[in-house]
Amino acid sequence: MLEITHLFKIKDAKSSTVAIVNFYLPNLDLHLQKCRYIKKKDGNFFVSYPSEKTQNASEEPKYFPYFYFGKKTNDKFQSAAQKAIQEYMQKKKENYNEPPF
């Protein structure tokens, strides 16, 4: 199970980051803060872990995550995170469409 504790949408059309998301993994009692929900060039999405950005003047920026899961756990996390984000966004959208009374 994966819970979203906070989701902040990014409203910058030039940015590939759709939202900043905080997760809670109850089975590990672990909070993951400042993950990024990113839209790839092919239209798919992924969740990036908090990272440090480095860049030389003539190079593209490089990102070094503070932590990461191994391949098997990362695949499960990505799948669960994307499902949780979709459900969270849908629920918020539905709540905004409800009448105020």
Amino acid, single-letter form, for residue 7: L
- Give pLDDT, residue 65: 94
pLDDT, tens only, 19-43: 999 999 999 999 999 999 999 989 8
Within a domain: 88: yes
Q: Which CATH number is 67's domain given?
A: 3.30.1120.40
CA distance linking residue 67 with residue 60, whole number of Å: 21
**What is the count of structural domains for the chain?**
1
- Give pLDDT, residue 20: 95
Within a domain: 74: yes
Within a domain: 10: yes
**Domain span including residue 13:** 3-52+59-96
Within a domain: 101: no
- Complete edge-to-edge strand list for the sheet that includes strand 30-39: 3-9, 17-25, 30-39, 45-48
Stated pTM of the model: 0.81
pLDDT, tens only, 54-95: 988 888 889 899 999 999 999 999 999 999 999 998 887 766
